[in-house]
Amino acid sequence: MNKPTAILVTCVLFALASPASAEPAYSDTYKTCLDASGGATFAMIDCINAEEKFWDQRLNRSYQALLKQLTPDRQKSLRAAQRLWLQYRDANCGFYFDPDGGQMARLTATECHLRMTADRATELMCPPILDPS
């Protein structure tokens, strides 16, 4: 099986195993952590930060793996897109961190960061367009 075919098969299996919802499949550890937080904002933020670290590592692995599959021109395009995506994620989630919004604004902004990072990691694991080579 060639590399693009193997990646396509992996992506199809990943899609079939993932629930059909807008939310990424967060870890059981994350869900347990949130349950144990008792709704305390700072404990919940600690859970979110730990899960984001997991997804950020996954994002970086997916990004590096995808880069290796691309031609130099496509690598340049991906690097540019990733830089812009990072700026957008930070600006978008920063918007939710309203200084007048209290603890809920901080929680919402932190969760935004996690959700966008997990979504991007998933997207890069199974990109919609692969190099034809």
Burial tier of 40 (Cβ tally within 10 Å: 0-12, 13-18, 19+): exposed
pTM of the shown model:
0.80
Backbone φ and ψ for 94, nearest 5 degrees, come out as -65, -35
* pLDDT at residue 1 is higher than 60: no
**3.20.10.10, 3.50.50.60, 1.20.1270.180, 1.10.3720.10: CATH of 41-128:** 1.20.1270.180
pLDDT digits (tens, 9 = 90+) for 21-74: 456 789 999 999 999 999 999 999 999 999 999 999 999 999 999 999 999 999
- d(CA 23, CA 26) in angstroms, rounded, equals 8
pLDDT digits (tens, 9 = 90+) for 66-125: 999 999 999 999 999 999 999 999 999 999 998 888 889 999 999 999 999 999 999 998
- d(CA 59, CA 30) in angstroms, rounded, equals 17
The region, left, alpha or beta by phi > 0 then psi within -120 to 50, assigned to residue 31 is alpha
